[in-house]
Amino acid sequence: MFEPVLTRNVGNPDALTLKGYKKAGGYEALAKAIKMEPDGIIEEVKKSGLRGRGGAGFSAGLKWSFIPKDKKPKYLVCNADESEPGTFKDRLLMEYDPHQLIEGCAICCWAVQANTCYIYIRGEYTKSAEILERALKEAYEGGILGKSMMGSGFELNMYVHRGAGAYICGEETGMLESLEGKRGQPRVKPPFPAVVGAFGAPTVINNVETLCNVPHIITRGADWFKGIGTDERNTGPKLYAISGHVERPGTYEHPIGITFREMLEKAGGMYKGGNLKAFIPGGASAPILPADQIDIKMDFDTVAKAGSMLGSAAVIVMDDTTCMVRSVARLAKFFNHESCGQCTPCREGTNWMELILKRLEHGEGTEADGEKLLSICQHIAGNSLCALGDAAVGPVKSLVERFMPEIEQHVRERRCPFPERRYFGKNVGNGA
Amino acid sequence: MPKVTINDRTVEVEKGATLVDAALKVGVQIPHYCYHPRLSVVGQCRMCLVDIWDRGRKMPKLQAACSMKVENDNWVVRTDTPEVQEAQKGMMEFFLINHPLDCPICDQAGECGLQDYSFKHGVAFSRFQFEDKRTYPGRERIPLGSNVILNMNRCIQCTRCVRFTQEISQTAELGFFNRGARAEIGTFPGKPLENHLSTCVVDICPVGALTSTRFRFAERVFYLDKKPSICTGCEVGCNVTMEHRRGKIKRYKPRFNPEVNDYWMCDYGRSTFERYEKLPRLAAVRVRPEATGNGGFYGGWKEALDLVHRRLREANGSSVAILGSAFLTTEEAYLLNKLAGALGTPHRSVPVDLGPTWTIPNLKGGISGQEQAPNRRGAELVGLTPGEVREGGTLLDATALLKGDAAAQADVVIVSDSDFSEAAHNPQVVERLRRAKLLIVFGWCDSPLAKVADIALPVSTHAEKDGTFVNVEWRLQHFGAAFPAPGQTRPLVDVLVDLLARYDASWSKLTTGQVFDRLASEHPAFAGLSWDDIPAVGVTLNVPQARAAVDAATASAVQEI
């Protein structure tokens, strides 16, 4: 039986207060950390194999080590702009255990010697933001933050910054622009945020879940952390946000690398005993996997090998009543709506893909559309300014590659063969 | 300096140079829309994608050449791999699917980035067959300010114009609104695009989204002939391309000169050529019958110059007043001064109008002009300044002639040219000058002054002659004739050379170039220069003021270090 790590305080309302959190063993890790050398912490995190939980799966320790030692000021920005469709794991962490996040941020700040931390939270998460703000206030009063972090003489200020609801502000440089008060749109890279980030200073950007793992690595050690998971490269506990056609949708904590079948069982199985048709393993931007991949191990490398990505581990399950064309058309609509409009392939390509998919869904497709979609995908993928273009390509490409018969059926029958459920407008227009 | 190899050719570039600029050095044009050498790099048009091998290892993705800065010797770049060509094809398709393709009625057609690159990198057919094009209803002809009109349907969202107003004019009137496929350019409420450089956004717009109210629908650009020239609006001397057709100037576009106006010019400067169309042209030699002294005038230039020569010989040479103009080329001013020398008159001057001070930004921080005079400095350098007056006499200079009653004391007043400043159109001033016993006017314009002249001689506009101007920073700049002068009109240099040849045969039949070479051998400021060797970006003259300015710049640079 796997003992929950990140969610251990869920269901314990006391953990919302500083006193309750401390009683549950909180801030011990921070106390231990400030006795360690900053480089030692980075080494420990590197050794643990903790990979970024936001989507890209980049080694957290490695990211921290890129921060130049000699430059001041430096910043930590915690990415709490959880806006990937299907993802709701960070919200749980922030609403049930805010101090865990604050502790993780504090340790990271000490490790990279950054005196300021921003928690960039999406605007819709008003409850989470209020809880975090309350927790921050307590932490200041309790001497955890402020002029002298836990009496160490290290100044640390932490702020909650609320976004305004744009998906693109979850992209790290888009978030920095938004944080600086500008129009939220990604910057051209290089230079990377580790060199030129918020306000032109070196900046670490980490996901909420990534930072929440840090205190546990410090208290229990890298070797304990490495013991959880499939192999050397996929370690630690992981939150999976499962939704769609399952009996008990929600956020579950599993050791990374649990099979999809096992995960589905723990969520109560398919909704009303339906048949699995497909699932998205990592949020809206991950390519869709067909049902025959049910035994896949849900870790970064195995999912990538299967032609998808673990991403934010937001698992969307679809049974055989789902029209894949309609689902992907809905996703394409999302990406078109959320594209910032800066770079050409994403601005024009996502719009065009949505128009084609809508046309297909309405039974007005042609045989050449599949190939056209693939070619548009090829022109967007890798050529856009930020990762949103690649994200938009994921579901569309997998639709054409893995569910081509369904597209052909739409074209042949000149209608959608699935019962009409939730329709999103007949208007084949601008996608607005 | 780091080296980079682009399409098998290796070039040394300055550290931090972008690949787009590096490629130009080896003659490779990397297509781009959003990149501009003077604007910040945003890398958003994605047209400049290239393949890069870093120490022999190919980078996993195509990289935007505009954002890749050469810092070391590690890179080998190719702009012609199948991947790059495929990406360029894809980008062109994306640009065009929602573009109206209204080239037949678009002002940009002929100088359009979309046309050029789709010809070079695009495909000839469209796959955007079943969908509706995105349009911006009601935003096809939005005046952004008094000089610029926006057609949002044609826009490719490169944001060059937005960055221009933020970074170059620093007025930030333009913004990028909305998201995704509905993103658009616009002004903020109550803040129209009004700055003295506003038309530059039309120049840097790679497509026909921004058009100039001044040039809109005036001419198809592919019918225009082009000639490098100098703006006559003020003493800055912006380098321009004079675009003309059938003897009419259609527009000025700034011509790149990093030492003067960089890539920019002001809106006022762009309007200066309109004077040549607006004002009536002096097209023929015109002599009042009384002026001949023997009944009437029959003949052309030869007879007119004979008459001028005769009347000047009859007059008392030292009471001839010569009123020059800051619009004269240096050569013309030099010849006019020689004429003054031949007559022995000290009464030489150059009137100058003051206008508002405008600054053209460049890499050195900008260059400002206030005098509406392209060549006061040149005229003064070659000696067209008041001379010594003998005891008791009064100097008949511009102030005395234009503001006082000095003309009545002069035997002859020679004015060159008829449009020397706004004063030439002022009835009071015309009346004052008319009090001279004989009024000789050279000019392109049949101004009120030319109308009352005894002898009015038609000469070229600056579009119709060769010459040099000296700007506010003592930079000598050369320009050439764009088209021949109409009718009886002759370049002033030819006229003055003919006139001077009547005093000294060695002036006979000199060309502008030969006049300049003579001038250069006489005046120390021009020492060592010859007509054929004036650099395209001009040359700073060897004058104490210029040397002082250079010293001051060096001193401040030293302090900054």
Where do the structural domains in chain B lie, given as residue ranges? 3-80, 286-548
Tell me which chain A residue has its CA closest to the CA of residue B184. A341
Walking along chain B (561 residues) 10 residues at a time, the average pLDDT comes out as 93 93 94 94 94 93 93 93 95 94 94 94 90 92 94 95 94 92 92 94 96 93 95 93 93 93 93 92 90 81 92 86 92 93 88 89 89 90 83 77 82 89 89 90 93 93 94 92 92 94 92 93 89 91 73 53 43
User: What is the pLDDT at residue B400?
Assistant: 82
Measured between CB atoms, does A23 come within 8 Å of chain B? Answer: no
Q: What percentage of chain A exceeds 70 in pLDDT? A: 97
> Given the structure tokens 């020492």, which residue do they identify?
B527
Q: How far is A397 from chain B (nearest CA, A)?
A: 16
Measured between CB atoms, does A153 come within 8 Å of chain B? Answer: no
Mean pLDDT of A196-203: 94
**Cβ-defined contact of B132 to A429 (cutoff 8 Å):** yes
Q: What is the pLDDT of residues A117-137, one digit of tens each?
A: 999 999 999 999 999 999 999
Burial class (CB in 10 A: 0-12, 13-18, 19+), B269: buried
Helix, strand and coil content of chain A, in percent to the nearest 5, comes to 45, 15, 40
How many residues does this entry show for chain B?
561
User: E strands within A17-124?
Assistant: 75-80, 116-121
**Cβ-defined contact of A355 to B131 (cutoff 8 Å):** yes
How many residues does this entry show for chain A?
432
Instruction: Classify domain A13-227 by CATH number.
Output: 3.40.50.11540
User: What is the pLDDT at residue A430?
Assistant: 38
User: What is the pLDDT at residue B554?
Assistant: 53
Mean pLDDT of A270-281: 93
Q: Domain B286-548 is in which class?
A: alpha beta
Mapping DSSP onto H, E and C, the string for A291-340 reads HHHCCCECCHHHHHHCCCCCCCCEEEEEECCCCHHHHHHHHHHHHHHHCC
User: What is the pLDDT at residue A426?
Assistant: 47
A vs B, Cβ pairs < 8 A, gives 117
**Cβ-defined contact of B44 to A344 (cutoff 8 Å):** yes
Tokens for B143?
């005046």
Q: How far is B98 from chain A (nearest CA, A)?
A: 8
User: What is the pLDDT at residue B401?
Assistant: 84
> Given the structure tokens 């770079």, which residue do they identify?
A343
Rounded CA-CA distance A71/A151 in Å is: 24
Mapping DSSP onto H, E and C, the string for A230-293 reads EECCEECEEEEEEEECECCCEEEEEECCCEHHHHHHHCCCEHHHCCEEEEECCCCCCCCEEHHH
Rounded CA-CA distance A244/A225 in Å is: 31
Q: Which residues pair with A315 in a beta bridge?
A: A242
Cis peptide before B386 (omega within 30 of 0): no
Q: Which residues pair with B228 in a beta bridge?
A: B241
Burial class (CB in 10 A: 0-12, 13-18, 19+), B256: middle
User: What is the pLDDT at residue B547?
Assistant: 66
The fold of the A234-319 domain, in CATH, is: Ubiquitin-like (UB roll) (3.10.20)
User: What is the pLDDT at residue B387?
Assistant: 80
> Given the structure tokens 């920073």, which residue do they identify?
B473
> Under a CB-based contact definition with an 8 Å cutoff, are residues B259 and B365 in contact?
no
Under DSSP, the state recorded for A426 is S
Q: How far is B90 from chain A (nearest CA, A)?
A: 5
Which residues, in sequence order, are CB contacts of B186 under 8 Å at separation 6+?
A: B142, B144, B150, B174, B175, B177
**Domain segments of chain A: what residues?**
13-227, 234-319, 324-413
Identical fold between B3-80 and B286-548: no
Query: In chain A, which residues have their Cβ closer than 8 Å to the Cβ of B43?
Result: 188, 343, 385
Q: How far is B265 from chain A (nearest CA, A)?
A: 28
Give the 3-state secondary structure of residue A279. strand
**Cβ-defined contact of B86 to A372 (cutoff 8 Å):** no
Q: Please give the helix or strand (H or E) that residue A38 lies within, else none.
A: helix A38-48
Mean pLDDT of A158-168: 93
Pairing status of strand A250-255 against strand A276-280: unpaired
Instruction: Classify domain B3-80 by CATH number.
Output: 3.10.20.740
Q: How far is A115 from chain B (nearest CA, A)?
A: 30
| pLDDT-based confidence at residue A197 (cuts at 50, 70, 90) | very high
Mean pLDDT of A229-258: 92
Instruction: Classify domain A324-413 by CATH number.
Output: 1.20.1440.230
Q: Give me the residue from A189, A336, A372 closest to B181, CB to CB.
A: A336
Query: In chain B, which residues have their Cβ closer than 8 Å to the Cβ of A350?
Result: 180-181
Q: Which of these, B19, B79, B22, B21, lies nearest to B11 by C-alpha position?
A: B22
Measured between CB atoms, does A379 come within 8 Å of chain B? Answer: yes
> Given the structure tokens 């106390």, which residue do they identify?
A31
Best of A83, A173, A347 to substitute, by most chain B Cβ atoms within 10 angstroms, is: A347
Sign of CA dihedral B82, B83, B84, B85: positive
Sign of CA dihedral A390, A392, A393, A398: positive
Tell me which chain A residue has its CA closest to the CA of residue B62. A383
Q: How far is A375 from chain B (nearest CA, A)?
A: 9
User: What is the pLDDT at residue A432?
Assistant: 36
Q: How far is B216 from chain A (nearest CA, A)?
A: 28
| pLDDT-based confidence at residue A2 (cuts at 50, 70, 90) | confident
Q: Please give the helix or strand (H or E) that residue B439 lies within, else none.
A: strand B438-443
User: What is the pLDDT at residue B555?
Assistant: 57
User: What is the pLDDT at residue B550?
Assistant: 58
Q: Which residues pair with A244 in a beta bridge?
A: A317
Residue B513: CA count within 13 A, CB half-sphere: 7
Rounded CA-CA distance A172/A181 in Å is: 14
Would you list which residues of chain B are within 8 Å, Cβ to Cβ, of chain A?
Answer: 41-47, 49, 60-62, 64, 67, 86-87, 89-91, 93-95, 97-98, 127-128, 130-132, 134, 156-157, 159, 176, 178-183
Q: Give me the residue from B64, B91, B183 closest to A341, CB to CB.
A: B183
What is the secondary structure of A87-111 as a DSSP string? Answer: --HHHHHHHH-HHHHHHHHHHHHHH
Q: What is each CA distance from A247 to A250, A275, A287, A419, in whole angstroms?
A: 10, 13, 23, 21
Rounded CA-CA distance A402/A362 in Å is: 20
B357: phi then psi, degrees, rounded to nearest 5 = -85, 125
Tokens for A373?
């979609």
Residue A407 is which amino acid?
I
**Cβ-defined contact of A428 to B131 (cutoff 8 Å):** yes
**Cβ-defined contact of A347 to B183 (cutoff 8 Å):** yes
User: What is the pLDDT at residue B411?
Assistant: 86
Query: In chain A, which residues have their Cβ closer than 8 Å to the Cβ of B67?
Result: 188-190
User: E strands within A245-313?
Assistant: 250-255, 276-280, 289-290
B487: left (phi over 0), alpha (psi -120 to 50) or beta: left
Other Cβ atoms within 10 Å of A126 Cβ, number: 11
Q: Give me the residue from B46, B62, B182 closest to A344, CB to CB.
A: B46
Q: Give me the residue from A189, A348, A356 closest to B94, CB to CB.
A: A348
B371: phi then psi, degrees, rounded to nearest 5 = -75, 130
> Under a CB-based contact definition with an 8 Å cutoff, are residues A77 and A176 in contact?
yes
Tokens for A326?
């309609």
Give the 3-state secondary structure of residue A428. coil
A414: phi then psi, degrees, rounded to nearest 5 = 55, 30
B240: left (phi over 0), alpha (psi -120 to 50) or beta: beta
User: What is the pLDDT at residue A428?
Assistant: 39
Rounded CA-CA distance B10/B26 in Å is: 8
Q: Give me the residue from A356, A384, A430 closest to B134, CB to CB.
A: A430
> Under a CB-based contact definition with an 8 Å cutoff, are residues A200 and A44 in contact?
no
> Under a CB-based contact definition with an 8 Å cutoff, are residues A400 and A407 in contact?
yes
